């Protein structure tokens, strides 16, 4: 893997050594479905934490990749955007989770709810805490926030 995240893992980079890209895509989709079910089964009161985010990511990608459920340790470039350096990821994720939980605790109306959803997705993607799967994990996290606010999964 180079220094960019605009890559799809090659077959030799997955744990089972699958070479058929369609099969890899299928297993990734199954992992995502499993992670979404995991989110749906969480207790409503479950607080969002860095550990929960790692668990969601590992549930989605853990059967295929050794980087699943682990914070990014390499510099990445996403298009023309350079996310924060890897040594800042853990601190930024703790700040993100604290701010998100605070915003959720004071959200009273639709505008507050939208702010929580926007903050959740935007800030997570800005931090870009994983080697890969950030967009998909960010959408799942945003859906968890939607559920906490009384909405259905967003599409």
Catalytic residue ranges: 128
Q: Coil, helix or strand for 129?
A: coil
Calpha distance 84→143 (Å, rounded): 24
Q: Coil, helix or strand for 72?
A: coil
> What residue ranges in 9-131 does DSSP mark as E strands?
none
> Quick check: 15 and 64 in contact, CB under 8 A?
yes
CA 98 to chain centre: 16
Calpha distance 95→8 (Å, rounded): 29
Calpha distance 107→104 (Å, rounded): 5
């Amino acid at each position: 893997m180079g220094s960019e995240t605009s890559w799809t893992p090659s077959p030799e980079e997955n744990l089972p050594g699958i070479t058929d890209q369609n099969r890899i895509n299928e297993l990734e989709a199954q992992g995502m479905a499993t992670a979404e079910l995991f989110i749906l089964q969480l207790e409503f009161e479950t607080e969002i934490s860095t550990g929960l985010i790692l668990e969601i990511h590992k549930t989605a990608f853990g059967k295929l990749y050794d980087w699943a459920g682990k914070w990014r340790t390499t510099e990445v470039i996403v298009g023309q955007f350079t996310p924060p350096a890897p040594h800042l990821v853990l601190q930024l994720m703790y700040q993100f989770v604290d701010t998100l939980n605070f915003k959720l605790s004071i959200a009273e109306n639709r505008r507050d709810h939208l702010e929580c959803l926007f903050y959740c997705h935007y800030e997570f993607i800005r931090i870009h805490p994983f080697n890969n799967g950030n967009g998909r994990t960010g959408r799942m996290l945003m859906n968890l926030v939607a559920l906490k606010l009384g909405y259905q999964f967003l599409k």
